[in-house]
Amino acid sequence: MTILYGIPNCDTVKRARDWLASHGVAHDFHDFKKAGVPADRLAAWVASAGWERVLNRKGTTWRKLPEAQQGSVVDAASAQALMREQASVIKRPVVEWDDGRITVGFDADDWETRV
């Protein structure tokens, strides 16, 4: 089963969910705000895509962090600690496709090759 991770009020997550539905891709939705960030899945995303890709340094949450806290994110371990603490710094959506592949962010052209 394909699983889409994110937060429901994120515009990119909404577009991704609509895309999956319009392409007939059955999926579950994991809401970071309600269910938290599963540490084992976060580690798998970082292993697959790299912590630099999973960490969203362009978002509002990141920009609002104190400079010292931003500066403390220097490797996969420190990035994962921050992402577990503040799920909104995770680039959304993260999708675990039913074939085991993981994507970070929404790219309709890339997703076309997956279905």
Report the C-alpha gap between 86 and 60 in whole angstroms: 12
Residue recorded with tokens 């899945």: 41
40: Cα separation from own chain's centroid: 14
| Integer CA distances (angstroms), 111 to 5, 27, 57, 107, in order | 15, 14, 23, 6
Task: Give the active site residues.
Answer: 10
